[in-house]
Structure 1
């Protein structure tokens, strides 16, 4: 009777319970949709480096007027020193330039499905790197700490299965040769090389989260951090681009799928994605936001098979399942650790705690 009464007294709230759930599911679908369109643009001849440069340059231009308005409205903001600027330069290098360049190179060689699977390793990698820098600890006597460590190992094993074992083909769509969507189809891929590149990109992203946490503690103006992070990362991408993408044809943005990918990616990630994530964080917290990340694997798989003609292999399903199990093990240990020891890293350091999602502009996926 007590259980029934408690259940009856709990009233579901549309804005507090239903809407955040729907928003996060839509966000995952949109994330994978944008990534699928970017992959289609690369299949049509747009270079992966070109996409990263155009995408981030356009996104930085969108942020510029908002940052100028922020400067006028916040006269008492912290002083921006050379030390902080150098930190932001390194953040741009790790979290934007190296991460995005390597991820999109990896996607170009493999698929959005593999990218979405391997990037779910980031929470575990972040935990290990934070432990190395003594911003977190591994206590073998603690069940939560062991769950995080074991979950990281399980997720890495799943990523190895995804990368090195494709297995028999289960499903593939085969459009007719005269199909208008023929240009979207995935090109022959180097699955293993692409997977390794994406894994290395995830290591850089984890390093970014650790450094970003330390920077956010020292400098509390979040909008300044985000703007200069994007600005420096874009400049670094432009500086590297002639060496990584010398083919002039790969820089041509023709009307159609190439232009759509660049504009949609910049506008969506700058405006809509960050706004939805911030709202869901405020309503439900970082654990709720993070728990949806593995659903990106399923979404990417469906979109890849449907629109890119990707093959569905047994290895992808097994590896993705293992990664998801490891991911939730890390998240369970993370939540348990916070309940038992809230001062573990500091009350203002949810960036590491929940794979960076307390950073209002940190994407679920690249």
Structure 2
């Protein structure tokens, strides 16, 4: 019995880590494939509208079957929250992110997103979703780790250093000319990605709050994707007005990017992060975003011929250190909350035993 319990306990402990790591692999793939599609001339605004429409269509059957007995009533308050979540995430966050990535590179854009844990941590702290004990080591670790993560992101984006001559990243004249043009808009792209990160942090926080009153992850995911597709379509129509060719999808990388992003990054990622946030909170989910930076930096050098320099490598190492500090603090919080709950159970059991003795 104890062995079965320990296995179940180990599974429950490892599961959130495994899910968010898989999610970061999905986000890394989105950055690479999305950047490749944008380089081919695809409109990022149309791309986002299609992406969330696909996600809603795919996830809806699962929500109907699995959430049919536990889906709460959709009140006006919940609907308003869903509309705001869709505005913050699919519309503002992703449109600014993809536009900023169009002006820069995939690894640069993903590196800038490492300010999301810092923004999310600050928002969660202010709103009372994250408890921070500044006089305890675990609280200091979370605060310091968040600051270290931001420093690592700044090192990756601002410090260059000597270049690494990777043989597989050479000989791509088209990519070099694209990068040369992007360097002229590096500041514009960085500001857009920074704004998208702020909006993305609000998206995570508001999703965590909404799940408390609407605890059906799949159904909430479908609603967010539906509203995100509707709002993104309105925005895309306004921006691409008079350009009907922007809505055409061919059987090439653009179609692959749309399907991949819809299935992995909007559909199942929203569902996974919702489930993990119910258990561990929004800061835990966003703390793993530095992992996708390292993945995009490595994969991008192969597929997109993006060059690496010393600043990006040092920044990646610093980011990983900050990530581990935050996760260490979160794990200590989890252990203390578990021990507190065990004490409550033991106290209740002792009270029951005393009452039984009194009655006998």
**Shorter-normalised TM-score: what interval?**
0.7 to 0.9
Paired with 2:256 and 2:71, the residues of 1 have a C-alpha distance of 37
TM-score normalised over the length of structure 2: 0.75
The 1:156/1:58 distance shift into structure 2, 3 A limit, reads: same
1:331 pairs, out of 311, 327, 331, with 327
Query: Could you list the per-position Cα deviations for residues 189-224 of structure 1 after superposition, in whole angstroms to 9, with x for gaps in the alignment?
Result: 233332332222222222122222221112223332
Paired with 1:87 and 1:276, the residues of 2 have a C-alpha distance of 19
2:102 pairs, out of 104, 108, 114, with 108
Is the 1:122–1:205 Cα contact (8 Å) retained in structure 2? yes
Aligned counterpart, 1:255:
251
Is the 1:124–1:327 Cα contact (8 Å) retained in structure 2? no
1:33 pairs, out of 29, 39, 42, with 29
Query: Could you list the per-position Cα deviations for residues 10-66 of structure 1 after superposition, in whole angstroms to 9, with x for gaps in the alignment?
Result: 99xxx9999999988776545423331211110010022121111111211222333
Q: CA deviation at 1:253?
A: 1.8
Q: CA deviation at 1:82?
A: 0.6
Paired with 1:20 and 1:128, the residues of 2 have a C-alpha distance of 22
Q: CA deviation at 1:69?
A: 4.1
Q: CA deviation at 1:274?
A: 6.9
Q: CA deviation at 1:289?
A: 8.1
1:209 pairs, out of 200, 204, 209, with 204
Paired with 2:217 and 2:14, the residues of 1 have a C-alpha distance of 29
The root-mean-square deviation of aligned C-alpha atoms, in Å, is 3.9
Aligned residue runs from structure 1 range 120-199, under 5 A: 120-171=114-165, 173-175=169-171, 187=179, 188-189=181-182, 190-199=185-194
Count, aligned residues: 325
- Which shifted more, 189-198 or 39-48? 189-198
Aligned counterpart, 2:86:
92
Aligned counterpart, 2:40:
44
Paired with 1:228 and 1:128, the residues of 2 have a C-alpha distance of 27
Gaps of 5+ in 2: 1-5, 341-360
Paired with 1:119 and 1:82, the residues of 2 have a C-alpha distance of 32
Q: Does 1:81 pair with 2:75? A: yes
Paired with 2:83 and 2:148, the residues of 1 have a C-alpha distance of 33
The 1:214/1:20 distance shift into structure 2, 3 A limit, reads: closer
Aligned counterpart, 1:306:
302
Paired with 1:17 and 1:140, the residues of 2 have a C-alpha distance of 25
Q: CA deviation at 1:98?
A: 1.4
Q: CA deviation at 1:308?
A: 0.9
Aligned counterpart, 2:347:
none
2:50 pairs, out of 44, 47, 54, with 54
TM-score normalised over the length of structure 1: 0.74
The 1:248/1:303 distance shift into structure 2, 3 A limit, reads: farther
Paired with 1:129 and 1:294, the residues of 2 have a C-alpha distance of 19
Paired with 1:218 and 1:310, the residues of 2 have a C-alpha distance of 44
Larger Rg, first or second structure (1 or 2): 2
The 1:91/1:290 distance shift into structure 2, 3 A limit, reads: closer
Paired with 2:15 and 2:139, the residues of 1 have a C-alpha distance of 33
